[in-house]
Structure 1
Amino acid sequence: MTLGEKVSKLRNKHNMSQGDLAEKINVSRQSISKWETGASIPDLDKLVALSNLFQVSIDDLAKEDVRADKSIEDGATCQEKNTTPRRIYGTQKIIGFILIAAAIICIILAMVFAKRFLMIPTVYLLLCGCLCLLVKKYVALLIGWITFLPIAISLPYFISSSMGAIFYRSYYQNGNYFGLLISFIMWLQLLGLVWFTIKIKVFRKKEK
């Protein structure tokens, strides 16, 4: 690629117009247009400004060879890779604040109407909200485990079923299909959580 093509590619990858780029490095939009079409080339100080802005070396901008082109490609996609986790964590924080707000509403309702059972979802909402705010990675997996464990333990007390229901002949003989369905769903959730946990551990080992 020529210098102009590299500037154009980097500018587009960073979602900048020619005017945006011109403003950032203190030149006219016409200068950017001339660089990209090859009608002129930037001065050394502007090359330095482009290098700093796009996080690529001056050599990679100026040289017309395969290695330089590869560096430009890497530099063009670098910002996208770095900003994606930030966007995800930003959305996660919003969800965290919503969950905490819902927990506060539950507390108010429990106090006003004297409904103690509302404290159960309150604790869960607070816990999930705090996880969303404090944990940057794998928060969905953590919430999955936190949801699964208390439900699995409390099943026999609320619906007269358990995870082991699918292994007991009495459930089939008595036609307790609801209990069997709940047991089957819980096993699916457990297998899914275990699979994702193992997958994440393997992925992290490969990263290292």
Structure 2
Amino acid sequence: MFGENLKTLRKQKGFSQEELATRLHVVRQTISKWEKNLSVPDADTLIRLAETLEVSVSELLGAKIENENTASDVAEQLSRINEQLAIKNRRSRRIWKIVAIILAAIVLINIFIAVFFSVPNLNEGNQSNQPEITDQIQNIEE
């Protein structure tokens, strides 16, 4: 419904897809996707689109609201959209946090392994020097 309304209103105003895209600061392909119902604009862009076409958001969305609560209904729809976007953003942030924690753990484990295995065994070093020291002491006594 939105795509058909957008196309009809755009043509009634005499705008090409390119002209409308320029006014909204988007690319022409975005307008095409909206008209084909392949995607929808975000809340802010939807409001700018309605203002550019000189219609209400509810008319653009295809809803015929006849009572006086049009502003509250539109606000409610926008509120739902914003809530869905907030949930999506929280999920995305959670996933990135988990990825960061896993990467940090891997780096720390690698550092620990590198340090642990690169330290020479001090006992081995002392044992290899003992015969030399014993030989030197015997040479001095003779």
Provide the TM-score with structure 1 as the length reference.
Answer: 0.30
Larger radius of gyration: 2
Higher relative contact order (CA 8 A, sep 6+): 2
